[in-house]
Chains A and B, each alone.
Chain A
Amino acid sequence: MTQFLIRRIFWAIFLFLVATIITYLIFWVIPADPAALAAGKSATPADVARVRHYLHLDEPIWRQYLRFLWNLVGHQQLGNSFVTRQSVNHIIGQDAPVTASLVFGGAIFWLSLSIPVGILSALRPRSILDRVSMSFVLVGISAHPVWIGLILSYLVGYRLHITPIVGYCNFFPGGIGVQCSGPVQWAYHLLLPWITFMILFAALYVRLVRANVMETMSEDYVRTARAKGASESRVMIQHVLRNSLLPVVTILGMDLGLALGGAIFTESIFNLPGLGHEVINAYNTADLPTITGIVVFATVCVIVFNFIVDVTYGFLDPRIRPS
């Protein structure tokens, strides 16, 4: 197990290096001149030259990358925004809880819906429930979150006045310039974003759970358990669900990382001041340090989630460890 853990840690470090190198190259080398962007639209050539030197952009690329990496690893610094000059660490610190609220809340929603629906569909294939759930899957996969978000906020927020149209409240009371806060307001404001965020993933997971359960139910050991006289509930819980939901854990770990990307749409529609929204603004204003910082942060999240899943899976299924 120790060897397995060490191997996984080294693999995570390797992925991190590759991801940061690619990110660095994409965002710092390809687009024109970051010094001119940082100096501002009205800067003189002397200003641009000063900024270029200040940002060490007059150094060879490999040295720039090593400096970037050293600031990242040695000082945990992602630099400062070109636009607002705020620390990118601070920006991410402000925005990450919002995105986490959306992603983890959405995950709870989609798991709560998809697991029971998927199981019931698998138990009664071609029943009305199965056909309805498969229709939902089709709609969920086809409909874009922006469209779903706009429809929900128009109907539920604007027409029916059940929820706010857009907006966000902090979970913890207080804070700078906070207009509303507390767990109830937090959940109330996130209800529509969670539903919007949930639909795509729930659709995918219903199908995944249904397929896994159906496949597991036809396994020999399930037939054996039934032949030994085990009750149907025992067969389902001990043999079918335990085995069929194991892949869901793996996929969930990866999807939580990927969901950071999906959050961009939901955050934009519902004005949630999270990382997705921030990265769009940064793109619009060519704020390269902020874009790079958020991409690096998202990369680390994906690597960490995958690492946790790998290790957890290793514990749950001993066959994984040697591989």
Chain B
Amino acid sequence: MRRKQYLSLFMLVLGVALLVAATTVGAATSATQKASKSGIKKGGTLKLNENAEDFDFVDPQLAYRTDDWSMLYTTAMQLVSFPEKTGAAGSQLYPQAATSFPTVSKDGKTYTFHIRPGLRFSDGSPVTAAAFQRSWERILSPKMGSPLGVNLDLQDTIVGGTAFLAGKAAHISGIKAKGLTLSFRLTKPNATFVSILSMQWFTAVKPNTPYDDKGINVYPAAGPYYIKARNPGHSTVLARNPFYKGNRPANPDQIVFTPNVDIDQSLLQVKAGQSDLDIGGVPATAAADLAKTYGVNKGRFFVGATSCVNYMAMNNARPPFNNVNLRKAVNWAIDRPAQVRLLGAFAGKRTDQMLVPGIPGYRAFTAYAIKGADVAKAKQVGGSAIASAPTLNVIHTPTATSTNRAQIAEFNLKQVGFKINDVPTPATNYYQVIQTRGTSYNFVTNGGWCADYFDPFDYLNVLFDGSKLQAANNNNYAYFNNASFNAQLAHAASLSGAARAKAYQKLDQELMVKYAPVVPYLISTNRYFTASRVKNWIYSSYFGSPYFNALAVG
């Protein structure tokens, strides 16, 4: 009987203890973890590795790299932007800070936006039209020393841009900000203008944000997060913007980026749960095993398309590739599947065109042998010009992957009869060599381009408009310059809507079928592996990464 009493007493104490513990833990948990209506838990710290080097800049007007932009997206409030949606839906612009898409004047030169009322920066101050005016001024200010905006001729896009860049005006006269109304006066109609505004450069910054050519690291932001702390080369910490009231996800309490982690070690960390994700992806050699163990896009190992096209460039400005038949012969000769295999499992999709899925005007076509080299066809197309061609200077960087890529390409070129001079070039010189007009190279094996904004102009005009060739720093390092094609590019750029898409679709095909200045071979994918606790994977093909603000670790 007495034993029973003791047992009852013990059970009572245990029950009370469990009740107290459950209440306490529940209270503690609810402070940091809240389940949303969709079942996604908020809270926790999302720990992200970067196996590549650190962000070069987190100042929105100096940042340009893909990883910079994918991070800044979580802090950004833009006039127009992309929603946190997977697939094609994620590449459709929507008015974010603006109440709607802009009204455009009849002459097509004045764009007027109305900013949503009630938007706030992370310090509580309101977001007004002046915040967007300041972002333009910071990208074009001579005090910022940024060549980025200049490269896209932004100063020529806006009335008063050139004078402002030259330091002759305090403000850009073509941008008027009054309260919540913002207007842009363009120098000429520009169908890409709204797309251009989706770039991270044009995020809202406080109107008193200083001009600083070294860039700012910690500043108030109006998106779901702001940069709370940054120690370049060591870590970057994002915290939730307490004043953000929009409907974009903001699941983790904070997001911590740790740069420079060795890619293999980083994978071990994610497997062990010491890190949640490496934003630089997984080692190429690990992709197949991860897919076998975890499946693809089934919870932990993810493969997503990017906006990046990889290509090899021929120097169209000098022999032998000033001969279009030889350029076509090379397109038949290159073994595209071998180049893709080199990058490991799930590296991407073979291609022989420059536009990528998701870009208006993209329509898949096949002009050359994308299932493997067709040596016979290459010899037939190249004809006797192959034997008389001078030795090709094939230039590449000396990394293992680049060297292997060059070796495969050189093997293919030799198969059809070209003579090869292999020119490994240090990364310090590489771009200077290939981007300088009059360069002695014939064939570049390291080439690639990712979208600055979702528009075919950013691929075809930027890379192949020969009228823009200059003495140095050319993006068109095929040195392709065809007056007829240049004129067609300029015409396509002046169009809008369906006519524009159709024009670029035709140009994409004509570029490769008629001129073949380059050898596109891969639309690349990115491969990621997450810790088991990571949920709510939403992938952006624009950034080539998940939306970090949407990931849940609570």
Contact = CB atoms under 8 A, between A and B. Distances in A.
The answer on A and B forming one complex is yes
Interface of A: 31-33, 36-37, 39-45, 47-48, 80, 83-86, 91, 94-95, 150, 153-154, 157-158, 161, 164-167, 175-179, 268-271, 273, 277-278, 281, 283-286, 288
**Which of B150, B233, B431 gathers most chain A CB within 10 Å?**
B233
Contact of B234 (A39, A177, A269): A177
Interface in B208-224: 213-215
A87 B229 CA distance: 18
Interface in B473-514: 473, 475
A32 B428 contact: yes
B428 A48 contact: no
B536 interface: no
Contacts of A164: 274
Contact of B475 (A42, A94, A281): A42
A32 B236 contact: no
Contacts of A150: 264-265
A44 B274 contact: no
A84 B147 contact: no
A255 to B, nearest CB: 25
Contacts of B470: 44-45
A39 B57 CA distance: 15
A177 B268 contact: no
B274 to A, nearest CB: 6
A75 to B, nearest CB: 17
B30 to A, nearest CB: 24
B148 interface: yes
Contacts of A268: 262
Given A39-B473, A85-B215, 12 more contacts: A32-B433, A40-B148, A44-B147, A44-B470, A84-B215, A165-B265, A165-B268, A177-B231, A177-B237, A271-B260, A273-B233, A281-B233
A84 B57 contact: yes
Nearest to B148: A42
**Which of B148, B213, B428, B429 gathers most chain A CB within 10 Å?**
B428
B432 interface: yes
Contacts of B274: 164-165, 167
Given A45-B470, A48-B473, A273-B233, A37 B260 contact: no
Contact of A41 (B232, B262, B268, B473): B473
A33 B256 CA distance: 36
Given A42-B473, A85-B214, A166-B262, A177 B236 contact: yes
A238 to B, nearest CB: 48
Interface in B193-248: 213-215, 228-237
A84 B232 contact: yes
B147 A286 contact: no
Contacts of A86: 214, 232
B331 interface: no
6 contacts: A85-B215, A177-B229, A177-B237, A269-B265, A271-B261, A285-B56
Contact of A42 (B151, B230, B426): B151
A273 B147 CA distance: 29
A179 B234 CA distance: 10
B101 to A, nearest CB: 29
B53 interface: yes
Given A48-B472, A153-B268, A284-B53, A94 B234 contact: yes
B306 interface: no
B234 A286 contact: no
Nearest to B57: A84
B261 A36 contact: no
A165 B473 contact: no
Given A42-B148, A271-B261, A36 B432 contact: yes
Contacts of A284: 53, 427
A90 to B, nearest CB: 9
A48 B435 CA distance: 13
B232 A277 contact: no
B106 to A, nearest CB: 34
A142 B530 CA distance: 36
Interface string B263-282: 01110110110100000000
A42 B57 contact: no
Nearest to A34: B428
A32 B427 contact: no
A273 B261 CA distance: 9
B147 A43 contact: yes
B529 to A, nearest CB: 14
A45 B230 contact: no
B471 interface: yes
B258 interface: yes
A17 B235 CA distance: 36
Contact of A33 (B148, B150, B230, B432): B432
